[in-house]
Amino acid sequence: MDYLLKTPGLPRDVPIVKLRDAGMGELMADYVLYGVLHFYRSMDRYLTQQQSATWQPQEVVDKSQWPVGVLGLGAIGGYVASALQQAGFPVLGWSRSPKQINGVQCFHGDDGLTELLGQVQSLITILPDTAATKHILNAERLAQLPKGASVINPGRGSLIDEQALLHALGSTDQPGTCVVPCWMYFMRNRYPRTIRFGSIQK
């Protein structure tokens, strides 16, 4: 929808219908839950060990100690946040205006975003592509994430400052990021990084 409305020569008499969720909530929730579990159970580390034929068991923390942040609490984002909460993870949600979702600690505005980022182990971005959301995860905000946090972006690629993300992945603090396949393809063809099962390995 974002780019459709910007199409040059789009006839004004053509009806345009925007579907609200249309079943995408459940599909998105499945993808996000997979991504969260991938990092929660240290699959990124085990995959790295597999490449060197080593085995070092990783600590499994209780889900209550793995808070998940969801940026965007619209129809799909709200569904995803609720699904994560039902799976046993503490969920913190963020939106530009105040929202209330049962079982989800909600934040809003710039101050709320800063407060949320400092608390989460996994961060999910489900926001539209607008001027206000472009590079909402820039270098400053990525640096606000706790050491070892993961970023899972099933939303628009423009939400993340690509260069800032690559710099964060090159540091010792961020183990990886999980992104949608089309963006993985984009990055794989531009940067010499190994991408396995949705994670970018350092």
Q: What is the pLDDT of residues 142-174, one digit of tens each?
A: 889 888 888 888 888 788 888 887 777 765 455
pLDDT at res. 153: 87
Q: What is the pLDDT of residues 56-95, one digit of tens each?
A: 999 999 999 999 999 999 999 999 999 999 999 999 999 9
pTM of the model: 0.79
Any residues with CB less than 8 A from the CB of 200 and at least 6 apart, and which?
169, 176, 177, 179, 184, 187, 193, 194
Left (φ > 0), alpha (ψ -120 to 50) or beta: where does 191 sit?
beta
CA distance 159 to 153: 8
Domain residue limits, the chain:
24-190
CATH H-level, domain 24-190: superfamily: NAD(P)-binding Rossmann-like Domain (3.40.50.720)
